[in-house]
A and B are shown apart, each in its own frame.
Chain A
Amino acid sequence: MDYDVIILGGGANGTGTARDCAMRGLRVLLLEKADFGVGASGNSSGMIHGGIRYMLSDRHVTALACRDSGYIQRIAPHLLFRIPFLMPFTTRAAGATLRDRAAWYATEVYVGTYDLFQPLKRGKPSTRLSADELYRLEPGLRPGLRGAVTLDEWGIDAFRLCALNALSARAHGAELRTWTAAREILAEGGRVRGVRFRDALTGEEGEARAPVVFNATGAWSPALARRSGAAVPMRPGKGVHLTLDRRYSNYGVILSAVDGRQMFVMPHESESIVGTTDDDYYGDPDDLEATNDEVEYLVEGAASLLPGVRNARITRAWCGLRTTIYAYGPNEDALSREHQLHDGAAYGRAGLLSLVGGKLASYRAQAEEATDRIVALLGRAPVPCRTHEEPLPGGDEVPDPAALARAHPVAAPVAARLVYRHGGRAREILRLLEEDPRLGLVLCRDEGILAAEVVHCVRHEQVRRLQDLRRRCRLAVGACAGLDCARVAAQLAARELGWSPEQVRAELADLLDAGWRERRPILDGAQLVQEELVRGAHAAAGAPW
């Protein structure tokens, strides 16, 4: 056999499991049909929450989740940002009824109980705010609110989380193939024996053999399973987010949509996001686009508490598919309600392990559990998991941006973005400027992307297509939609990867297409002006338009 285990899917679960398996000494092949994080993982709300919702059913799980959030901070401290949430109290009646007050107190107690777990994830204790205090903290809230409780959680750049797990796996000997889809899971005599795959860029087809296949293809699982004569039951739900061009507030606000569902407006890196919708989705998971209705639903919901959101600049709308477990078993605990590992032995595919569900926040614990199972399926002796101890690439250090800016010819705000995305590796990137000072060019002034960062990502972070840089370093995802950065980044990538002029144009077209799909439903105000400018600039420069 070529490998011990073949992992399908480069989301948080696939890359996390690849890392764990590789760290435990297994020979690993990971296949991702596009790029790391393109599925639910990168398109999630990116919250590393501590499982507050399990507190009623199983406090043990909350403790586990909080501890895991703490572990993620330990291994990738640079990639997380704190989000204080305000949970405003609303009333229907003119005055607060006794029931309202009881409900608020219950919320306060509930969140207050969560405080007991907060130290596990370096969280801050909750507070209860009077109406007056609430408006001091968020004057943009609509009048008539009665106060709030606060809640502390963490957010993360989920695309980079996936990429870092993958890169760590690679450093531990795993083989990674992006833009390579598993076409079929091969089986023989009741056991899996490998996978047939196809490289979308070269057209190469091939087979890889392994006694164990771990299927973490998320919403794509049912289709892959069907093609392979297996079954993975799940219920996909589409979730749409909107991005606002700046931090609307440093505080997240939890609110209700028109239909009473819970929604939020929250800071995310240097932007804000509004989310999310949740609707059953039975279409092609590759054909996902936000609709007018979804955009309006989110704006309406957000504006119900924060009317000013209507004046904010929406820069894109993006979607992901949740995979919800089809039917609950009778006596599962809360955590396994969120995820299940299906063993293919039941339908003649021994050695096939499929994951359904599984939160981003608990990807590490899920990966640990999956790896334990994989080791057991291989009949190996158990090896302890170390993914919570060893830092992810760059996670060993969070350099001080101001100090970096003093030591290198970069502006401090750019150094800060660099440190946010790359942690300790920011040093390595800035060293590139010593050899070639022009790599100090700031390609994108929305995100503070340096030419050196693009070169670094292309060299070291498994970039095969220009659009992979959207996820590695946020190329062309900011409000300016690729105005400054796209063309020069394409040239830099072309030089590193040896692209022909035709390839450069095709890659650029593909990058711009990806952005267009996300902006099309939200073009209005300044973002429409931006679109016209970007089109003009690319057409004038002879980029494909």
Chain B
Amino acid sequence: MATRAGALSYLAWRALVAHPLRRLFRRRGTGLERFRAAYVAEGLGPTTPEDRAIGEAASACVACGLCELGCELAVAAPAVRALGLHAAFRLYSRSVAELPLATSALAACAGCDGCDALCPTGVPISRIVRHLRAKVLGEGAAPAQGDRG
């Protein structure tokens, strides 16, 4: 059984020898690059201040459904229609990792601005839809540049 002294000396060995060596020989790149390589491909990218502002605005949605009355998006595709417009705030915008799955739904927005004036809580709906769409289309293009093989 490991004693505390044993454990501490192991840690000291790690600190003084093993870790510096590992630092020396590990894969190249800065900490940030290695972090990105590990996570961004899994959809776990950083949240920018714009994303967060959009998230905060979207959080005001109370799922009342009034915006759907003015939305052409709702007649786009049956499955998207079944989901409804406010899904754009409540489902798509909650987890960026799953956003790419909503691409076609977001692309169905006609940009008609029929929704905004209908929202009791003042959610800037069309702006959010535009932001998410830009994000998902932008991200769709990212792997091509960032591919490290």
Using a CB–CB cutoff of 8 Å, the interface residues on chain A facing chain B are 55-60, 82, 84, 105-106, 108-110, 112-113, 124-125, 127-130, 133, 136-140, 150, 152, 245-251, 267, 269-271, 308, 311-313, 333, 401-402, 405, 409-417, 440-442, 445-448, 478-480, 483-484, 525-526, 529-530, 533
Contact = CB atoms under 8 A, between A and B. Distances in A.
B74 to A, nearest CB: 12
5 contacts: A56-B7, A130-B31, A246-B58, A401-B101, A411-B102
B80 interface: yes
Contact of B44 (A248, A251, A447): A251
Contacts of A483: 62-64
A448 B91 contact: yes
Task: Please list the 9 inter-chain residue pairs (A to B) with the smallest Cβ-Cβ separation, ordered nearest first.
Answer: A412-B101, A270-B95, A133-B32, A246-B94, A313-B59, A127-B31, A480-B63, A250-B44, A411-B79
Contacts of B32: 127, 129-130, 133, 136-137
B91 A445 contact: yes
B129 interface: no
Which of B26, B34, B64, B79 counts the most A-chain CB atoms under 10 A from its CB?
B79
Contacts of A109: 11, 14-15, 19
Nearest to A311: B56
Given A124-B38, A333-B1, A413 B47 contact: no
A401 B105 CA distance: 15
B94 A445 contact: no
A136 B55 contact: no
B83 A136 contact: no
B2 A59 contact: yes
Contact of B96 (A250, A448, A529): A250
A445 B101 contact: no
B11 A413 contact: no
Given A112-B14, A445-B63, A526-B60, A411 B83 contact: yes
Contacts of B34: 125, 127
A413 B46 contact: no
A140 B26 CA distance: 30
A413 B105 contact: yes
Interface string B56-96: 10111111100000000000011110111011001111111
A116 to B, nearest CB: 9
Given A56-B8, A248-B47, A413 B87 contact: yes
Contacts of A140: 47, 49, 52
B42 interface: yes
Given A311-B56, A445-B83, A446-B90, A250 B7 contact: no
A246 B59 contact: yes
Contacts of A416: 98, 101
A445 B52 contact: no
Contacts of B84: 442, 445
Interface of B: 1-2, 4, 7-8, 10-11, 14-15, 19, 22, 26, 30-32, 34-35, 38-39, 42-49, 52, 55-56, 58-64, 77-80, 82-84, 86-87, 90-98, 101-102, 104-105, 121
Contacts of A60: 2
A480 B19 contact: no
B62 A480 contact: yes
Given A413-B87, A414-B91, 9 more contacts: A150-B35, A251-B46, A411-B79, A411-B80, A442-B84, A445-B63, A445-B87, A483-B64, A526-B60
Contact of B102 (A246, A412, A478, A529): A412
A465 B94 CA distance: 29
Contacts of A271: 94
A283 to B, nearest CB: 33
Given A57-B7, A112-B14, A442-B84, A533 B98 contact: no
Contacts of B8: 56
Contact of A138 (B39, B46, B101): B46
Contacts of B42: 82
B117 to A, nearest CB: 18
Contacts of A250: 39, 43-47, 96-97
Contacts of B26: 125
B12 to A, nearest CB: 9
A57 B25 CA distance: 28
Contacts of B90: 445-446, 478-480
A411 B19 CA distance: 48
A526 B62 contact: yes
Contact of A245 (B44, B52, B59, B121): B59
B4 A405 contact: no
Contacts of B52: 140, 248, 308
Contacts of B48: 139
A246 B53 CA distance: 12
Nearest to A113: B14
A271 B91 CA distance: 10
A137 B61 CA distance: 27
A308 B56 CA distance: 10
A233 to B, nearest CB: 25
Contacts of A246: 55, 58-59, 93-95
A249 B14 contact: no
A415 B101 CA distance: 9
B64 A533 contact: yes
A206 to B, nearest CB: 44
Given A140-B52, A333-B1, A413 B62 contact: no
B92 A413 contact: yes
Contacts of B105: 411, 413
Nearest to A315: B59
